Structure 1
Amino acid sequence: MGSKDVKDIVGLAKDDIAKSKSIRLNRPPMKRPTGMSREVFNLIAHGPNEENLFTAIPTKKLEDKHQMKKMILFRKVRKWKWKEFENEGRADGFKLSHWEREDRNPAEPYIFARMNKRLNLPRFSQEEYERHFQAEKWTHESTEYLFDLCERFDLRWAIISSRFEREKYGDFSMEDLKERFYRIYNILKRDRCLEGPIYSFDAENERKRKQQLEMLWSRTEDEIKEEELLRAQMRRIESRRKEREKRTQDLQRLINVVERSASPEPNGSTSGSQVRSSRRAQKQQKTQLMSAHLFSNDVPNLRFAEFKSAGPHLRSQEMKIPSNVGQKKLKAIEAAIEKYQIPLALPAYEETVRLFNDLRARVVLAQELRNALQGTQ
């Protein structure tokens, strides 16, 4: 398929191709803008970003800004007047004054009145109050007054509690006011099937919370230091308890391994005397079995690197201690090597590597058993 066929499939005519070429070739060269360095202009104008050159050139010059400022200075000044206005968000007819443009339409509402969002709370009648909302210390007038304050101050309980007339309607705390309001509010929403969540408020829990917060806030410096010491001691006790439990589990695991390896295989033909003798022998030889099997290869205590993949490797790498071994275990291994006067640079024979790794593994296992025994005592 030739280029002519491809152009026919795409829908390009010969005249269009020639026209686009002529336009591209006859485009006049762009001049370097004032204030732009030659290097930057060469990078932008002579490269793949030639089409985006106009976006890099500022559309307004500094002279244009000065000219605009001059035009603003010579423009006619609009007049402002000190006028009274009434906020539509208030229903008491209170009037304030502010500066306003003379050409503003006086029929338009106050510009900030749309930001006055009022809280519409459900109300109750005298009959509903007598049927559902009667309480020992509350009256219909005091409950209506509480709802008026809640609607006026948008459930800002600190203000509501401060403005509540306790001499006239009763001495109620903030928790009592909250409990009374939310109880009636939830009943009205449920009976009238209104949308929105149902709120639950526990006044007794709120009182305890504030009391504890007050006690926490009124602590002295000595009490704070004493509490920090107690918390640090509690963390140490908890860490020791977890470490002791871990050691106990490790010791129990080792004992289970020893007992499992020492138990005879069932053959189905064991007499009663043999069972009793085996139990006595197991009880008498428990220490011997522990010493004989604790250092066996069945107990994984220290794993060295195993090179099972294809390819050669140095046998001395098999004697390298794993990186996850702790400092205490390393010190125990060094003490054992120094005690038995073992040279550090051993020849990496197969038998030497196996025996040296087995020795260090047994040293680590002996230390673990010693620590576990000390933790259980």
Structure 2
Amino acid sequence: RPAMGDVRDILGMQGRGAAPAPRTSKASHKKPDGVSREVYALIGNQQASVPLVPADAGLKEKRFSGRVSRWAWKPFTSSARSDGLALHHWANVSDKAADYKFARFNKQVRVPSYTDAEYEQHLQDEDWSRQATDKLIELCALFELRFTVVHDRWTGRHSVEQLKERYYAVARVTTQLALERQERGEARPDEPRVASDDPVLVLSYDRRHEEERKAAFEALYRRDRAHVAAELKLLDEARRIEGALKAAKKEQSRMQRVADDG
């Protein structure tokens, strides 16, 4: 039979003469700086997952200690302009560029040029006069080969395809003449160097093909719902026939293998 003292020990009870358990003093935790009292009351002494105080709190801002570059109000001109207009802008005093730095983006299309003798000998066409050809080249240079815009400004009855055909025919002849002069060492000072594989010489513009392509696209675009439904029905029928032919061919191959094995 267990003694009463053993029962008290099992239940964790103190005896009459036992000394009281020593009291543990709670360590006082001070609220960190930069944290409000309400936030600290919520998290207590737990470690926050993210810092509540900025890492650079109490530190002075870093200042640029290098030497500041000087700027000046300078005039400038642009080679992209032909009127010599002088404007002003703020620029670094070390910038000694004579031309406006964005003038290099002014890319211009080079259109063919010809003399009277070259036109009379190589460029005559019964459907095109000299005046109409000159006007076409002028508009192509003005609108940078945007032939739709050129056709909008055109006063004649030529189509866009006819304008393209005439322009590329003139460009092909003048480029070939420039290549021949270059090979003879008689190139003009203002002529760019021409390669034998220049796209204008290698490729050709087919006006008939372009007209047929546009006509086919126009017919395709103007289809009504009945035509679209009929075409879809034909496509479904074609797929069905193609599937039946494949199945018949597969069955024929199987029968041929059976006959060969027998």
With normalisation by structure 2, the TM-score equals 0.57
Matched with 1:71 is 64
Higher helix share: 1
Q: Is 1:238 paired with 2:228?
A: no
Are 2:123 and 2:173, in contact at CA under 8 Å, matched by a contact in 1?
no
Could you tell me which residue of structure 2 aligns to residue 131 of structure 1?
121
The structure-2 alpha-carbon separation of the partners of 1:104 and 1:219, relative to structure 1 and needing over 3 Å to count, comes to: farther
**1:212 alignment partner, one of 211, 216, 220:** 216
Distance 1:90 1:149 in 2: 19
Change (3 A) 1:92 1:171: farther
User: TM-score, normalization: structure 1?
Assistant: 0.41
Q: Which of the residues 174, 177, 186 maps onto 2:160?
A: 174
Secondary structure class of the residue paired with 1:299: helix
Deviation at 1:118, TM superposition (A): 2.5
Deviation, 1:116, is 1.7
Question: Structure 2 CA distance, aligned partners of 1:235 and 1:173?
Answer: 41
AA aligned opposite 1:231: L
Aligned length: 188
**Structure 2: unaligned runs, 5 residues or longer:** 1-54, 180-193
- 1:209 Cα deviation after fit: 1.1
> Which residue does 1:346 correspond to in 2?
none
Is the alpha carbon distance of 1:86 and 1:129 closer, same or farther for their aligned partners in structure 2, counting shifts above 3 Å? same
Counterpart contact for 1:126–1:140, Cα < 8 Å = no
Retained in 2: the 8 A contact 1:87–1:113?
yes
Q: What are the within-5 Å matches in structure 2 for residues 31-46 of structure 1?
A: none
1:161 touches 1:174 (CA, 8 Å); kept in 2?
yes
- Give the secondary structure class of the aligned counterpart of 1:137: coil
Alignment of 1:178-189 (within 5 A): 178-189=164-175
Q: Evaluate the alpha carbon distance shift between residue 250 and residue 191 of structure 1 in structure 2; reply closer, same or farther with a 3 A threshold.
A: farther
Task: Describe the shift of the 1:210–1:143 C-alpha distance in structure 2 as closer, same or farther (beyond 3 A).
Answer: same
Structure 2 letter corresponding to 1:172? H
Would the aligned equivalents of 2:140 and 2:146 in 1 still touch at CA under 8 Å?
Answer: yes
8 Å CA contact 1:150–1:156 kept in 2: the answer is yes
Match of 2:133 in 1: 143
Which of 170, 183, 191 is matched with 2:177 structurally?
191
In structure 1, the partner of 2:82 is 91
Q: Relative to 1, partners in 2 of residues 1:243 and 1:102: Cα closer, same or farther, differing over 3 Å?
A: closer
Query: Is the 2:76–2:89 contact (alpha carbons within 8 Å) kept by the matching residues of 1?
Result: no
Check 1:67–1:155 CA distance in 2 against 1; reply closer, same or farther (3 A cut).
farther
1:228-281 per-residue CA deviation (whole Å, 9 max, x = no partner) reads 232122111122233334445655x47xxxxxxxxxxxxxxxxxxxxxxxxxxx
**1:180 Cα offset (Å):** 0.6
Task: Report the counterpart of residue 20 of structure 1 in structure 2.
Answer: none
Q: CA deviation at 1:90?
A: 2.5
- Percent identical pairs in the alignment equals 30
Assess, with a 3 A threshold, how the Cα gap between structure 1 residues 107 and 192 changes in structure 2: closer, same or farther.
closer
Change (3 A) 1:157 1:80: farther
The 8 Å contact of residues 151 and 160 in structure 2, kept in 1 or not, is answered as: yes
TM-align CA RMSD? 3.6
Letter in 1 for 2:105: M
Q: Distance in 2 between matches of 1:115 and 1:192?
A: 27
Given that 2:76 and 2:99 are in contact with CA atoms closer than 8 Å, whether structure 1 keeps it comes out as no
**Secondary structure in 2 aligned to 1:135?**
coil
Per-residue deviation, 1:200: 0.8
